[in-house]
Amino acid sequence: MSSVPLNIDGRDLIGKPGQTILEVARENGIFIPTLCHYTGTTNVGACRVCVVEVENARSLVASCCMPISPGMVVRTDTPKVRASQRMIVELLWSSGDHNCLTCEQNGACELQDLVYWLKIDHPRFAIQPPGHPVETTNTMIQRDLNKCVLCGRCIRACNEIQVNEVLDFSMRGSHAKVGPAFDADYIDSECVFCGECVNVCPTGAITFKQARFSGRPWDMKKVRTTCAYCGVGCQIELNVHDGRVIKVTGNREFGQPNQGSLCVKGRFGMDFIHHPSRLTVPLIRKKKGGELTEATWDEALDLIAKKFKALKKQHGPDSIAGLCSARCTNEENYLFQKFMRAVVGTNSVDHCARL
């Protein structure tokens, strides 16, 4: 069978064998809320927010796990479905410390969006946070398990996308939590700090420590660019606020080559951009033994050309060598080596990424 006919919310649709109700609904612009679902990882049906009614089924089914079948009739917007979704979201809200006033994910939190979408003023249950200590032992990732909804997205991203296999569930029932083996902090675990868990977390349970109190999500301007650390060409989003790069995120919509995933350098190695020790203007010595003083680019380039010519005339072109940078683009590095070979006349060119 090459196609599967079904009906969702009164619309006759065609799906593919093996697709789930959620996948077909999304392909056809039908909204079904989810928390635990993350495309490209195992469908687990952990949160049950995506429940729908299926004709002749004994109970509501999780649309992210239910394969479609010929003639299936699905309803996504019924009083029974909405009542169930409200109950689930209220339970999640009441079981954690979801204080949006100080949360870094305020405005970009999927649980917050669901609360608003379902028009919930206040959970009917008493709010009882588990009281986990906030993990601040490393400089890159902050974990507050009091905001964790146990969706398991960080676990599947770590194990199935990055294949680092650092995270998993531990304990049971109301004591259940997510983390490395033996309940260790990230800094004491085998974590390589790729930040994939931060990128997929739907709440404020895992956040960028570097970006804390540096700007709300709605203040950020996202600028697409290419990571300059190596030759893979990973696509990244610079989150910019007040002219400063606050954090770096991945975006799966960019597609190849990295599908939104990044390494530790691409995700967190951006401190050099605004580092106080970074040179922003040329420095030259205007006299021998003198101090380095600020100069214009024209002054600096004229001095470099003069010195290069003198060295080349006295000692030959191989007395000059060039070292280029992995933080430059491929095009800039190409021009640099072209300049050294064609203009200076030497093959003594190296690259810091090889050292």
Same domain assignment for residues 220 and 306: no
% of the chain surpassing 70 pLDDT: 99
User: What integer pLDDT is reported at residue 116 of this predicted model?
Assistant: 97
Same domain assignment for residues 255 and 326: no
Q: Which residues pair with 6 in a beta bridge?
A: 13, 72
Residue 109, in any domain of the structure: no
User: Residue 100 — pLDDT band, cuts 50, 70, 90?
Assistant: very high
- Give the C-alpha separation, 234 to 142, whole Å: 24
- Give the C-alpha separation, 316 to 320, whole Å: 8
Distance of CA 249 to the CA centre of its chain: 4
Same domain assignment for residues 220 and 169: yes
User: What integer pLDDT is reported at residue 272 of this predicted model?
Assistant: 86
pLDDT tens track for 294-305: 999 999 999 999
- Among 224, 256, 274, where does a domain finish? 274
Whole-number average pLDDT of the chain = 94
Same domain assignment for residues 143 and 270: yes
Reply yes or no on whether the pLDDT at 328 is more than 90. no
User: What integer pLDDT is reported at residue 354 of this predicted model?
Assistant: 66
Residue 122, in any domain of the structure: no
pTM: 0.85
Reply yes or no on whether the pLDDT at 293 is more than 80. yes
Same domain assignment for residues 230 and 339: no
Same domain assignment for residues 179 and 238: yes
Q: Which of 94, 93, 76, 80 is nearest to 33 (CA)?
A: 76
Asked if omega into 133 is within 30° of 0 (cis), the reply is: no
Same domain assignment for residues 232 and 154: yes
User: What integer pLDDT is reported at residue 127 of this predicted model?
Assistant: 93
Same domain assignment for residues 41 and 10: yes
Q: Which domain holds residue 238?
A: 131-274
CATH of the domain at 165: 3.30.70.20
Same domain assignment for residues 307 and 187: no
- Among 12, 46, 77, where does a domain finish? 77
Same domain assignment for residues 223 and 283: no
pLDDT tens track for 191-240: 999 999 999 999 999 999 999 999 999 999 999 999 888 778 899 999 99
Residue 166, in any domain of the structure: yes
Residue 47, in any domain of the structure: yes
CATH of the domain at 37: 3.10.20.740
Same domain assignment for residues 187 and 230: yes
Same domain assignment for residues 160 and 251: yes
Residue 124, in any domain of the structure: no
Reply yes or no on whether the pLDDT at 355 is more than 60. no
Residue 84, in any domain of the structure: no
- Among 58, 77, 96, where does a domain finish? 77
Q: What is the mean pLDDT of residues 93-119?
A: 95
Say how many domains are in the chain.
Answer: 4
Residue 86, in any domain of the structure: no
Residue 341, in any domain of the structure: yes
Asked if omega into 257 is within 30° of 0 (cis), the reply is: yes
User: What integer pLDDT is reported at residue 288 of this predicted model?
Assistant: 81
Q: Which amino acid is at 297?
A: W
Q: Which amino acid is at 230?
A: C
